[in-house]
Structure formats: C-alpha cells, structure tokens
Amino acid sequence: MLYSTRSSLTSLWQKSTKKLETQNVIGFPVTAESFETQVDTMVGWARQRLSKAVCVANVHMLVEAKCNKKFARVLHRADMLTPDGMPLVWITSRLRKRQQERVAGMDILLSLCEKATQENISVFFLGSTPDVLWSMEQRLNKEFPDLKVVGMESPPFRPLTIEEDESLVQRLNSSGAGLVLVALGCPKQEWWMYNHKGRVKAVMVGLGGVFPVFAGQQKWAPVWVQKNGLEWLYRLVQEPRRLWKRYAKTIPLFLLLAFKQLVKIKLGLEPRFGAPRPEIVLGSMRR
C-alpha cells in the first residue's frame, strides 16, 4: 500500500514537472496531451501549491483573444489551455495526426474533485451566485463526501476595491486550498487568474458556466451532442437572447481562421507544429 502511494505521488510529480506538448490553433498554444495527463498535471501543481492559471478554451475564448491583443497576452501567459471545444479537438487531432482527447470543464471538475479527495488536496470554489454554490455544496456532499472544501464564495459583480481584493487573496491563501475553481465567465475569469498569478498560492482553473450545470440549474448537453460539436446549438436553444450575437460573431470567424491556418500549413507557408504566431488584433471585441 505504501509503495503504491509513493508510486502514485512520483507519477504526479513527474507529470507536474514535464513540459506539456502544445498545438498552435489560430495562434494560441492549446495543450495537446491526454485528458489524464492534463488533469494529473493540475493535481501535481496543486499538491505543491504552485500558483498556476488553467484556461479551459473554446471557440469563443480564442476568437475573443484574436480580436483583443491584451486578452491574447492573457492566454499566452496561461500555464495550460485545455481543448474544451470540439472544433479545437478536431483541429488539434488533424494537425498532430492522432486523436486528441477533449478536456472539457465539467469533466475537469468531476475528475479534480475525485483526485483531490484521494490526494487530500483542499478546494476553494469562487464565483457564480450564492444559490448556485449552495446547490453545488449539496451535490458535493453526496458525491464527494470526503472532499475538503475550504471555501465557497460568490464575489460581487462589480470590480473589487483594492482592500476587498487583498482580503480575498488572504482568505484564499490562508484556506490552504491547492485548487481554486473559478467561475466568473469568459473573459473575466481569465483576467482574474492572470492578475492573481503569483499572488494566489494555488492552481486556478477557469470553469466558466460549469457551476450552474453541476448545481442542476442548467442542463448538461447529451453525450451525442457533445461528441458532434453541437453544444453551442444546445446552449443557444436554452439562452437565445444572450448567445446568438456571440455565436454569430465568433463561429464564422473561427472557421475562417482555422481554414486559413490549414491552407498555409498545406502550402508550407506555416509550420505544422512549433510556437504560435504572434497574436494579431482583428477587430474591436473589447470588454
């Protein structure tokens, strides 16, 4: 038993120190590793209480960054960009000529809760609304009764004052959390992690709209919808007023950019692998 535990810890340490493979997708370094490797890397970082930022990337996030140079810098400086959206999975698989696993927000949440329980890593949930956090707590108590939840906090929608922000950082650090799961919405949560890297002594993982789904307040798309890359349509049907403008702007532009990248690679004008090209501002989708 002791040998098995040591072997597991050694494996986590090796994964946490290994340089992760990435794939350039429209100019951004999407992590091109298996689901298990990416999650185990987060857990390894969390065990050491390293200050890391993990962005769960989809089409909207990459296009937002492509159109905003400052936000592009946020993604380039993240420690991991997991391929959440199926289009990112398909492009990465095509370019690397091997199947890339999807590393999606809900699966990350469930896996981190399971592994954090096994590794005795404390977790802090930050974001969403008090009602959502309360519902999450009820489900966590049932499904992960031994998970060490050291905090659940719904910050105000407005920007925090300097004093409020310092107080929040102190609460996060003093809680002993190795994982801070953040749900403030894109791009707010990515900016928050970027601005708090080095200050918050934990692995910060931006999970976007996963909290209300886990809480049961929104429906999780069926597996066949997920595998066929139709989650955007599933979500659009649920929230048409909020999402139709976003999808109308981001989906066609992403397809155009991805097509251009594939053509350039085919013609030998751009390397298949290697570091992403410098970000280029295409528009004014600024927040």
Mean pLDDT of 150-161: 95
Q: Which residue has the tokens 């809760």?
A: 113
**With 90 as the cut, is the pLDDT of residue 9 above it?**
no
What pLDDT is stored for residue 269 in this prediction?
A: 87
- In three-state secondary structure terms, 27 is coil
Tell me the C-alpha distance between 76 and 133, whole Å.
30
263-281 per-position pLDDT tens digit: 999 998 888 887 776 665 5
One-letter amino acid of 85 = G
91-102 per-position pLDDT tens digit: 999 999 999 999
Please tell me which residue, 218 or 93, carries the higher pLDDT value: 93
Q: What is the dihedral of CA 264, 267, 273, 276, to 10 degrees?
A: -30
Tell me the C-alpha distance between 176 and 198, whole Å.
15
What pLDDT is stored for residue 76 in this prediction?
A: 97
Quote the strand ranges of 11-140, DSSP E.
22-25, 28-31, 52-57, 80-83, 123-127
What pLDDT is stored for residue 223 in this prediction?
A: 74
Would you place residue 287 in the very low, low, confident or very high pLDDT band (cuts 50, 70, 90)?
very low
One-letter amino acid of 187 = P
Would you place residue 242 in the very low, low, confident or very high pLDDT band (cuts 50, 70, 90)?
confident
What pLDDT is stored for residue 286 in this prediction?
A: 42
112-136 per-position pLDDT tens digit: 999 999 999 999 999 999 999 999 9
Classify residue 63 by burial, with Cβ atoms within 10 Å: 0-12, 13-18, 19+. Answer: buried
Average pLDDT, the chain: 89
Regarding the domain delimited by 24-224, which CATH topology (the fold level of the hierarchy) does it fall under?
A: Rossmann fold (3.40.50)
Please tell me which residue, 283 or 196, carries the higher pLDDT value: 196
The answer to whether 280 and 27 are in contact (CB under 8 A) is: yes
Burial letters 234-251, b for 16+ CB under 10 A, else e: ebeeeeeeebeebbebbe
Angle between helices 69-76 and 188-196 (to 10 degrees): 60
Query: Can you give the residue ranges of every domain in the chain?
Result: 24-224
Q: Which two tokens stand for residue 134?
A: 């309360």
